[in-house]
Amino acid sequence: MNNQMKAGLVHLYCGEGKGKTTASMGLIARALGHQYRVLLVQFLKDGNSGELVSLRRLPGFDVLAGQITGKFSIAMTSEEKEATRALHLSFFHDAIKRVEEAQVDMLVLDEVLGAIECNMMDENELLAFLDARPPSLEVVLTGRHATTQVMARADYISRIECVRHPYERGVLARAGIEY
């Protein structure tokens, strides 16, 4: 979809609650239904969640995701952290290139805030991109903690609050629900 005549806005889904990625996936499905070209970049995730199985079948959708290791960042060695950071930066730079080449109408940076928080992504690079992005590009950011600099650039801010979660009772993540 050629969106040169529309103003692209920045969406921010943040907070401690479950549903930030889920909300962004719903927005992706809606955009694809209107022939947007959507690129999803997933940070700190392997790209194998259930919703991606469905979305990959739709025209106009692409995803950049993958992990060096299945470990959480706090359990990674310094070498694994550096390799993960390099992988994430390569995904981000590839996304910027595609945006600059007008291949993307909506860019979703899933868990980019978490990647920034654990030093797997450079916040200054994100901020510079947001400031220089094409005016028609729709951008979606997710993650728990948004800095004031990121929030200042968002047009939509949705804070997802955790009131209760089954994990507190020992229920682990379930296929088809949490991933």
* HEC assignment per residue over 143-154: CCCCCHHHHHHC
pTM: 0.92
**What pLDDT, on a 0 to 100 scale, did the predictor assign at position 171?**
92
SS3 161: coil
Between residues 175 and 105, the one the model is more confident about: 105
SS3 31: helix
**What pLDDT, on a 0 to 100 scale, did the predictor assign at position 170?**
92
Domain ranges, ordered by start, for the chain: 10-169
Handedness of CA 91, 92, 95, 96 (dihedral sign): negative
- Given a cut of 80, is residue 20 above it in pLDDT? yes
Beta sheet of 38-42, edge-to-edge order: 61-64, 38-42, 106-110, 138-142, 10-14, 156-159
CATH of region 10-169, choose from 3.30.470.10, 3.40.50.300, 3.40.50.720, 1.10.150.20:
3.40.50.300
- What residues are paired with 139 via a beta bridge? 10, 107
